[in-house]
Amino acid sequence: MLELETPLTAAMAIASVAGLVADRAVGDPRRGHPVAAFGAAAEKLESVAYRPSRAAGAAYAAGLVCSSASVAALADRMLRRAPRCRTFFATAVMWSVLGGRSLERHARDLASAVRRDDLDGARALAPALVGRDPADLDATELCRAAVESVAENTADAVVGPLVWAALAGPAGAVAYRAANTLDAMVGHRSARYESFGWAAARLDDVLTWFPARTAALLAVALAPCADGDVGRAAVTLWRDGRRHPSPNAGRLESVFAGVLGVSLGGRNVYGGKVHDRPRLGDGPPPGPDDVERAVRLSGLVGWAAAGLCALVAGRCRP
């Protein structure tokens, strides 16, 4: 008998690649971005739900992540007997949750400004990439910030959504992006969010654990494509990955440091508070050319992850 339904995994196998192609070709929509709409809704809810307690923060994060994932799951279920529409929906979801092109554009713009010795312009671009205070950053520190952001967000904005889409379909991709967005909004350690943002930060850590390590291993394998050395990348990942206070960002930053042959880490200022990060890698500080190589490596890791996730989705039955 002719099967009327396209398996979830078959739709996601196509959507994983098609969504990445759309992100690379078009980038984020300038208006009506679903992630921006989610952020606006989360901000409004926070004004009502905020309490300086972990319980309130957990309820806030769970409600937003679960409701977003439920909408995506319901839409996917309603389209099961319309295979083309279902695949189009899954592709649209992937396009909306992937952010590789925007990340790379911001990094390249910053590198170009540093190369022109336009440090004021580079500092103005920095908040699109990092949360640290850019006012006192020199050329070297601006490039370090860009490389670290590209490295960390290779998991957050590219590999994470692809992995969770392969594992749990559109609902998985949406849940991951929702958790990651909440972590960026309330997951940082400050007087206001130390308790309220705890659940969002821990949820993002858990969901990113596997994607971060997948991305790190892919970066090791692809090191020669970014003029790097596989052995040095692997050694730096193994030796330095666990030094970083983040269980996931440290893996990506260390492997990028190893591939690029640079040193990352150092003193960062967030909201007037100084945070000393451990040194990752053995080389000199990064420059504009290293930012360009980091962007190239991030893009290659994204394509490799999309191919792997499409293969897994296409071979596994729901």
pLDDT digits 0-9 by tens, 278-306: 999 999 999 999 999 999 999 999 999 99
pLDDT of 188: 83
| Longest Cα separation, the chain | 68
Question: Residue 200: what are its φ and ψ, rounded to 5°?
Answer: -60, -40
Mean pLDDT of the chain: 91
Of the pLDDT bands very low, low, confident and very high (cuts 50, 70, 90), residue 4 is very low
Q: Which of 190, 201, 105, 213 is nearest to 149 (CA)?
A: 105
Q: Is residue 226 part of a domain?
A: yes
**Does residue 297 form part of some domain?**
yes
> Is residue 151's pLDDT more than 70?
yes
Q: Report whether pLDDT(8) > 70.
A: no
Lowest mean pLDDT of 1-10, 11-20, 45-54, name the range.
1-10
Q: Which domain holds residue 199?
A: 8-315
Residue 153 C-beta-side C-alpha neighbours within 13 Å: 27
Close Cβ partners of 191 (under 8 Å, ≥ 6 residues apart): none
Return the pLDDT at 5: 39
Residue 300 within any structural domain of the chain? yes
Look at the chain and report how many structural domains it folds into. 1
Read off the pLDDT band of 314 (50, 70, 90): low
Give a yes or no: residue 1 inside a domain.
no
Residue 273 binned pLDDT confidence (cut-offs 50, 70, 90): confident
Within a domain: 202: yes
66 within some domain: yes
Which SS3 state, helix, strand or coil, does residue 264 take? strand
CB 11 within 8 A of CB 87: yes
Specify if 2 maps to a domain. Answer: no
Ranges of beta strands (E only) in the chain are 267-270, 273-276
Contact 97, 174 (CB under 8 A): yes
| Whether the predicted pLDDT of 237 surpasses 50 | yes
CB 91 within 8 A of CB 75: no
Identity of the residue numbered 203? L
